[in-house]
Structures are given as C-alpha cells and as structure tokens.
C-alpha cells in the first residue's frame, strides 16, 4: 500500500499455546497495533512490565522500545497489525495516545480487523485502495474507542459505556433489558439506572434511536420494502416501526420515504 500512504507489513489474528517473545530493544521501525482478545500476556508499558488482559489495546510507534512476552501466563490470542507510511505518521500526530488502553470487547473493531486480514491475505495481495480504506477506518475506530474508554474510566461510567456498545452492536436484532444487563454482569434495575444517569435516556430509547438511524439509511439507499427494513433494523414488525417513526419524526415512514425520493 505504498502508493496510498500506508505500508501494511503484517496483519493477522494469532493464538499462542507456547512461549513466545517479540523484542525490539533498540526501537521499532514501524507502528505496531495490537488488541488482546484471549488469555493473558505481558508487555513493556512505560518502562515497566505490565499484564495485558482481554480488551487491552497496545499502540507503539517507530523508535519506541517493544517487548511482548507470551506464554508465561498461559495461552494468548490477539489481533495485530504491523504497518508504516506517511498517512500513519500524520494520524499519529493528531493526538496523544497511551501505549495501553482498555477498550473492552468491540464487535465493530473486531469485524473491521477481520476484513483487513482477509483482504491482505488475497492471492493478488489485495486491493491497495481497499486496504488503505480499511486501515484508515480501523485507526479512526480505535481513536474513538480510546476517547470513549478515557471518558468512561470510572466503574459506573465504564459499565454504562459497555451497555451503550452492546446496544449499538445488537440493535439490528431484538434484544431485552435482561440481555443488555447480562452483558455487564449487572441486574436489570442497576443497568437501567446506570445508563439513564450517564446518557439521559433509557436503554430502549437509545436502541430506538440507533434503529431509526439504521432505518433512515436503508430507506434512502436500498430498494427494500418498509416491512423488510423494519425487520432488518431490529423493530421486528412494521406496525411497531411505524409507531416509533411517527412519534419521532411526526410523519409516517412511507410519506418520509416519498419525500426523500422526490428530492433526489
């Protein structure tokens, strides 16, 4: 991807059952981005060996010392990418990023990382523009995850943030308050209380907002029927979708879509 400002050296998911150590004491020549997904390992963070747990994101820039130790604490799994290039240099300058941030489970980041891995493994080397777009998108999503993790670093705030992520990742399918609460290991009442205190709305109100945003995008960009859109965006039935849409926008989905078509 040299032409696009990003050089992708390695991108993969790795699972280690045996001890492994990756060390650059004289400083890296590339960027290393790594997300722990399973088990534990150890890494040199800010001059000290630290335990790396699932959900920990590691970011290292050229010139920084890198020392990763796997196997001493059991099997370990992670997504990683080793990369360089002018675009990444400019991205790195945009903000200060800690070497280690706990961003937790994030289905969107995992899915994007998997797409990047698959494209990079193509027999033809992958489409350079697509690889660049995927890599840039991954960087921006990681920045958002870092910012949100930093903002919600206290116990209650972090739990509310985890519920928010769960809603965004599962909005396209019907889920219950029990499902959302179970994701954070809380009771339903505690989950409802924490989320409302942090975001000023109920869990289901936020789910409706996410689903409506998805529906609006499909209404404008796809030929799907309104009934199918209701199913694809987690509303379950057109009757419910119609009622929620009318309440939020003061117009029926059909009339709204007709206006969108007339404006095109």
Q: Please give the pLDDT value at position 154.
A: 63
CA 256 from centre of chain: 31
- On the 0-12 / 13-18 / 19+ scale of CB atoms within 10 A, 250 is exposed
Q: Among 126, 110, 144, which Cα is nearest to 13's?
A: 110
pLDDT for res 64: 96
Structural domains in the chain?
A: 2-151 (2.60.120.280), 154-264 (1.10.10.60)
φ and ψ of 121, to 5 deg:
-90, 0
Confidence class of residue 5 from pLDDT cuts 50, 70 and 90? confident
pTM: 0.68
Whether the pLDDT of residue 184 is over 90: the answer is: no
SS3 state of residue 251: coil
**Alpha carbon distance 247, 249 (integer Å):** 6
> Residue 1 — very low, low, confident or very high, per pLDDT cuts 50/70/90?
very low
Considering only residues 147 and 113, tell me which one the structure prediction assigns the higher pLDDT. Answer: 113
pLDDT of residue 133: 94
Q: How many CB atoms lie within 10 A of CB 91?
A: 20
221: three-class secondary structure by DSSP: helix
Where does the pLDDT of residue 4 fall: very low under 50, low under 70, confident under 90, or very high at 90 and above?
low
Percent of the chain with pLDDT over 90: 66
Q: Is the pLDDT of residue 49 over 90?
A: yes
The pLDDT tens digits of the residues spanning 125-179 come to 778 899 999 999 999 999 999 988 777 666 788 888 889 888 988 899 889 999 9
pLDDT band at 69 (very low <50, low <70, confident <90, very high): very high
Nearest Cα to 116, choosing from 140, 133, 92?
A: 133
User: Residue 238: which residues within 8 A CB-CB, separation 6 or more?
Assistant: 226, 227, 230
Which of 105-114, 204-213, 255-264 is modeled with the greatest confidence? 204-213
Mean pLDDT for 200-219 is 92
Q: What is the mean pLDDT of residues 173-195?
A: 91
- For residue 157, the model assigns a pLDDT of 81
Question: Mean pLDDT across the stretch 242-254?
Answer: 93
Average pLDDT, integer, range 10-20: 91
Alpha carbons within 13 angstroms on the beta-carbon side of residue 199 total: 24
Q: What is the per-residue pLDDT for 222?
A: 85
pLDDT tops 70 at residue 119: yes
Residues 51-79 have a mean pLDDT of 93
């Amino acid at each position: 991807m040299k032409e696009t400002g990003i050089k992708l050296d390695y991108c993969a998911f790795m699972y280690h059952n045996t001890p492994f150590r990756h060390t650059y004491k004289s400083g890296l020549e590339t960027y290393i981005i790594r997300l722990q997904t399973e088990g534990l390992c150890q890494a040199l963070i800010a001059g000290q060996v630290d335990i790396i747990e699932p959900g920990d994101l590691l970011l290292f820039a050229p010139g920084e010392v890198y020392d990763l130790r796997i196997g001493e604490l059991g099997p370990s799994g992670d997504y990683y990418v080793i990369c360089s290039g002018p675009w990444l240099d400019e991205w790195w300058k945009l903000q200060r990023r800690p070497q280690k941030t706990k961003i937790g489970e994030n289905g969107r980041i995992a899915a994007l990382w998997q797409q990047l891995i698959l494209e990079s493994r193509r027999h033809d080397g992958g489409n350079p523009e697509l690889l660049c777009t995927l890599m840039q998108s991954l960087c921006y999503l990681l920045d958002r995850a870092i910012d949100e993790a930093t903002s919600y670093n206290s116990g209650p705030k972090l739990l509310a943030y985890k519920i928010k992520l769960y809603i965004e990742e599962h909005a396209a399918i019907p889920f219950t308050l029990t499902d959302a609460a179970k994701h954070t290991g809380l009771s339903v009442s505690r989950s409802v209380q924490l989320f409302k205190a942090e975001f000023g709305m109920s869990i289901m109100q936020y789910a409706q907002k996410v689903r409506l945003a998805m529906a609006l995008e499909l209404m404008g960009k796809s030929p799907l029927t309104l009934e199918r859109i209701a199913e694809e965006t987690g509303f379950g039935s057109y009757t419910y979708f119609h009622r929620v849409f009318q309440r939020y926008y003061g117009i029926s989905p059909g009339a709204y879509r007709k206006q969108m078509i007339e404006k095109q």
